[in-house]
Amino acid sequence: MKVTVAVTKQKKQWCCKQVAVHGVHSDKCLVRDMEYNYLGYGYRVGWFAEELQSVQKRFEDGKWYPADTKYYDPYAPLINRGVIANPRIQI
């Protein structure tokens, strides 16, 4: 399973939010509070529930929705490579 987490920095504090869950060999995923825009805007994440924005975006309702992985699989560096490489750690 691949989990995509959005990160922002507000008032000198890092904030994280899980926005997508992908099966390893699946062409479908689950997406929450994230939008992909074809016209060059890329990905947008809503932070209303975390009280980091004052206006709720139209795509932001906190529910998980099925989507095509090809649209909701943004590139992000892998940050837990050591955990994955260690067979003694149970995830």
Q: Which two tokens stand for residue 34?
A: 């994230």
CB distance 18 to 62 below 8 Å: no
Reduced 3-state DSSP string for 30-58: EECCEEEECCCCEEEECCCCCCCCCCCCC
Given a cut of 60, whether residue 91 has pLDDT beyond it is no
Is 29 buried (19+), middle (13-18) or exposed (0-12) by CB count in 10 A?
Answer: buried
The arithmetic mean of pLDDT across residues 64-80, rounded, is 79
Given a cut of 70, whether residue 64 has pLDDT beyond it is yes
- Mean pLDDT for all residues in the chain: 82
Q: What is the pTM of this model?
A: 0.72
The arithmetic mean of pLDDT across residues 57-65, rounded, is 90
